[in-house]
A and B are shown apart, each in its own frame.
Chain A
Amino acid sequence: MVVGMTMETFLQQLINGLSLGSLYALIAIGYTMVYGILRLINFAHGDIFMMAAYFTYFGIAVFFLPWYVTFIITIGLTILLGVTIERVAYRPLRDAPKTSLLISAIGVSFLLENVATYLFSGKPQAFPEFPLLTTPFFIGGLSIQPVSIVIPIVAFILMSALLFMINKTKIGMAMRAVAVDYDTAKLMGIKINGVISSTFAIGSALAAVGAILWCMKYPSVLPLMGVVPGLKCFIAAVIGGIGNVKGAVLGGLILGFSEVLMVAFFPALTGYRDAIAFVILIIILLFLPNGLLGKKQVEKV
């Protein structure tokens, strides 16, 4: 298999890896931003992603709204959900030990999963089709879905916008200040609550975009669909250096490419595909405990 792999197959696998990795990157940014500000691993992030998928499903398949209206509503509702979770489950615990905050995050995660199972049933729902984005075009023997190209482009644009915001705007400066020193920032008159709410809003908006793109590529919606992507994107964030936005993107891409390339080069090991994420995590943490880009800590958000 490995020897017989043609250039064409290899290129196809690279395209597969790029779009998967970009999706991981979008979700990983949400983990890394919240961690940068609050030192909290927001375990509910994967479930916020799942809820965004349901919002889109309901908008298009149940209420028959046009897709652009649905996307705006989805992003709005997901931001609302993210900010509400912070307000209800994390803010009251801000002065409590970090472990309590972590447990609260796990609790929110379970709550969302079970509420979704209860409300939407455990059965998979078919995500509406977007023929314009999913009908493949062929270049030689390569088959490319337009969405596979759209995903990395959207991810790149959003990441650039985010970096601009963090580095050049006032709210970005406030975020960096809170990330560097929470207490001092508070003393300097920065409105901590506003900064934290915006962080959750941005992270949730990215998760919503990630969910929409994810479902275009993998069109089924399930209450537990956020668990594995959530876990993997958390790993991606740690690999890249948690707290660092560029690191999260790098980690997401590394994870996406290594998963797909492992399948390409070692077809017999495809069942261990999820294990590879954890193996990479362990190896990187052994040598670079702060992750790939975690050392400088300049751009921590």
Chain B
Amino acid sequence: MKKPLSVLLSLALVVTMAAGCSSGTTTSSGDSDVIKIGVFEPLTGANAAGGELEVEGVELANKLRPEVLGKKVELVIADNKSDKAEATTAAARLIEKDKVVAILGSWGSSLSIAAGDVVKTNQIPAVALSATNPQVTAGNDYYFRVCFLDPFQGTVMANYASKKLNAKKVAIIQEVSNDYSVGLAKFFTDSFVKLTGDPNAIVATGNYNTGDQDFNGILTNIKAANPDAIFAPGNFTESALIIKQARALGITAPFIGGDTWETNEFITVGGADVEGAVMSTFFDDTNPLTEAGKTFVAEYKKAYPDRENIAAVTALGYDGYMMTLDAIERAGSADPVAIRDALAATKDFEGATGMITIDANGDATKNEAIIKTVKDGKFTYMDSVTID
């Protein structure tokens, strides 16, 4: 009884493995008329909601522009499981097994940074969509991005805290295992200290790890420090739980954060407690700045009629794909190195989130951020900020 079962099970295993391989190989045989672009995103794990939003943007763009140089563009989606170690493997698999000519992603700077060496050594260009940490592109000629950077975002939020909220003392809660969160907290601190002229303007700092659920300890400390506002950049689930627990502890100070909060799950998990939370982001769907932005909004609403608002990272996913295709067209070939050179030379490309010009570091030069707040269970436009 036992033996046939185990034979059967191992047979099933072999069959599934074979199936897994074959689905990959059948398509690569005819690669002369197909251009493959890898989409490298967290689709499971703590960051899954963010990754899914970016994929929506990329897929929408692919539907609108399915061909370049007379060849069909095929998206190969790889799940990096919100895990830095998996991220390296997923990027390597896209390059070595799927033979993609360019990679888009990933949501989460840590995950993008983890894949940095892989794209660099294999000379495959990558375009980060919403990864805002400077380390993503620094010292890496093959990583580009279509969003603004954290030093800018930190300045925007420090200005908001100091000028709009009149905050003198701020507490920081950061996700220590996340390069994005730690980086943004640091840039915010630098800027806020400069604005207030008070080296002790940050009155408390709380650290947590991705996946934590109990924040009562750090919040009790923060309550004792009695800050005017709390800056808590980090993953959306944990941030929503932090705000919930803070309110239960009787903390009334406003919460401000970064672009990663703008996911539906932030609101569903946080409920009434995240009302009034303020964050900076990349794009306002009620007021697109460019023609491409208007097209994107119209097409998105057609594709997802039941969505109430459009996440900024979806618009960036759209831009990343369109900019890469534009580069392939200008390069005149699907050779990764030629695509890289064309991406580096991108100038005044009209994206949904604004005009994109790539600078010497591979970053998009952007000086406008949108500030949104949660109002009546929706992300609502508050302000747009330009800093030169």
Contacts and interface: CB of A to CB of B under 8 A. Distances in A.
A220 B269 contact: yes
Interface string B194-230: 0000000000111111011110111011011100000
Contacts of A125: 268
Contacts, number: 115
Given A92-B2, A219-B241, A124 B216 contact: no
Nearest to B81: A122
B244 interface: yes
A271 B216 contact: no
A134 B220 contact: no
A26 interface: no
B221 A267 contact: yes
B218 A134 contact: no
Nearest to A135: B248
A123 B265 contact: yes
Contact of B52 (A4, A123, A138, A260): A123
Among A20, A124, A145, A225: residue with most chain B CB under 10 A: A124
Contact of B216 (A8, A219, A260): A260
Contacts of A228: 211-212
Given A1-B204, A126-B268, A218-B214, A271 B176 contact: yes
A9 B45 CA distance: 34
A145 B250 CA distance: 10
Contact of A9 (B43, B214, B221, B241): B221
Interface in A127-149: 129, 134, 136, 138, 141, 143, 145
Interface residues of A, number: 47
Given A126-B271, A263-B221, A267-B218, A136 B241 contact: no
B292 interface: no
Residues of B in contact with A, size category: 35 or more
A143 B204 contact: no
A150 to B, nearest CB: 14
A260 B223 contact: no
A263 B217 contact: yes
Contact of A219 (B42, B208, B269): B269
Contacts of B184: none
Given A270-B206, A271-B209, A220 B48 contact: no
Interface in A204-244: 214, 217-220, 222-225, 227-228
A218 B48 contact: no
Nearest to A124: B237
Nearest to A267: B221
Contacts of A214: 213
B89 interface: no
B46 interface: yes
A254 to B, nearest CB: 15
Nearest to B267: A126
A12 B213 CA distance: 18
A125 B305 CA distance: 22
Contacts of A20: 214, 216
Interface of B: 2, 42-46, 48-49, 52, 82, 176-177, 204-209, 211-214, 216-218, 220-221, 223-225, 237, 240-241, 244-245, 248-250, 265, 268-269, 271
Given A20-B216, A220-B240, A222-B237, 8 more contacts: A1-B224, A12-B249, A20-B214, A122-B43, A122-B48, A124-B49, A260-B216, A271-B207
